[in-house]
């Protein structure tokens, strides 16, 4: 039987007792229905994971005893940042979840002309926390021991003005582009992948990305949905230079 993995925000040391967060406790007790004596694996995003055993599960808070540390590193050798035009509801959640499984190093939600989601103030804060939860759950499921960085929401122009580093390949997906991923040959130090929301990016946004050093690339003759396009490109990049295949 597969031992459940749980993220814990805080220090973990062998031989100590730790109270899990309210969210983690509810997941362990109500969803997984684990009782004292059940085994867990805990990780805190600093690398590796710890054995753990539930020793108490009263009053809605699970307490565990921390066991041996296991050094595990499943991060991709190719750091990829996904700059994703914010899409609606489940589409954005799916993109976040699957990009984590595919080894993305960072995710940047960006606002573009065709974004249909209006997020400001408290609503944005709640959505950011929700996205953090999606990322954490995906890491728990897929075996990652480090959480990808989730950037704060920015406009596309703000994002383009900030991120330009030596040796970094910058790609913007554009179904009208004449070049594809097969045209890439030199392995980059890192990659930024820019993907539009539903409806894609305006031509003026593609031009702005090109002026910021982004290479427009197509994924083939078919027009892919936003949640399909980014994940397809991530899988292809990880196959070319990462740890897939």
Q: Write down the pTM of the prediction.
A: 0.92
Q: Please tell me the chain's helix, strand, coil percentages from 3-state DSSP, rounded to the nearest 5.
A: 35, 25, 40
Task: Give residue limits of the domains in the chain.
Answer: 5-70, 80-241
Which CATH architecture describes the domain 5-70?
A: Beta Barrel (2.40)
8-state DSSP, 181: G
Say what the pLDDT of residue 31 is.
87
CA 77 to chain CA mean position, Å: 15
pLDDT tens-place string over residues 173-216 = 999 999 999 898 889 999 999 999 998 999 999 999 999 999 99
CA distances from 59 to 16, 22, 26 (A): 20, 10, 10
Choose among 56, 102, 97: nearest CA to 79. Answer: 102
pLDDT tens-place string over residues 219-242 = 999 999 999 999 999 999 999 999
Q: Which residues contact 175 (CB under 8 A, 6 or more apart)?
A: 200, 218, 219, 223, 224
Which CATH architecture describes the domain 80-241?
A: 3-Layer(aba) Sandwich (3.40)
User: Which residue matches tokens 């100590």?
Assistant: 16
What is the rounded distance in angstroms from the CA atom of residue 5 to the CA atom of residue 228? 28
């Amino acid at each position: 039987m597969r031992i459940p993995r749980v993220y814990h925000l805080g220090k973990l040391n062998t031989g100590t007792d730790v109270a899990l967060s309210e969210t983690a406790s509810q997941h362990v007790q109500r969803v997984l229905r684990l009782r004292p004596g059940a085994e867990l694996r805990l990780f805190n995003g600093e690398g590796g994971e710890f054995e753990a055993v539930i020793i108490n599960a009263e009053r809605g808070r699970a307490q565990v005893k921390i066991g041996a540390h296991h050094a595990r590193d499943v991060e991709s050798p190719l750091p990829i940042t996904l700059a994703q035009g914010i899409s609606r509801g489940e589409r954005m959640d799916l993109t976040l979840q699957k990009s984590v499984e595919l080894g993305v190093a960072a995710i940047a939600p960006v606002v573009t002309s065709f974004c249909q989601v209006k997020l400001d103030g408290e609503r944005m804060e709640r959505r950011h926390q929700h996205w953090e939860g999606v990322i954490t759950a995906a890491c728990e499921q897929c075996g990652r021991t480090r959480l990808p960085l989730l950037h704060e929401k920015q406009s596309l122009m703000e994002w383009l003005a900030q991120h330009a580093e030596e040796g970094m390949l910058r790609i913007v997906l554009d179904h009208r582009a004449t070049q594809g991923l097969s045209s890439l040959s030199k392995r980059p130090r890192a990659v930024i992948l820019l993907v539009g929301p539903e409806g894609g990016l305006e031509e003026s946004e593609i031009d702005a990305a090109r002026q910021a050093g982004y290479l427009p690339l197509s994924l083939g003759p078919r027009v892919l949905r936003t949640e399909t396009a980014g994940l397809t490109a991530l899988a292809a990049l990880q196959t070319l230079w990462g740890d897939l295949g």
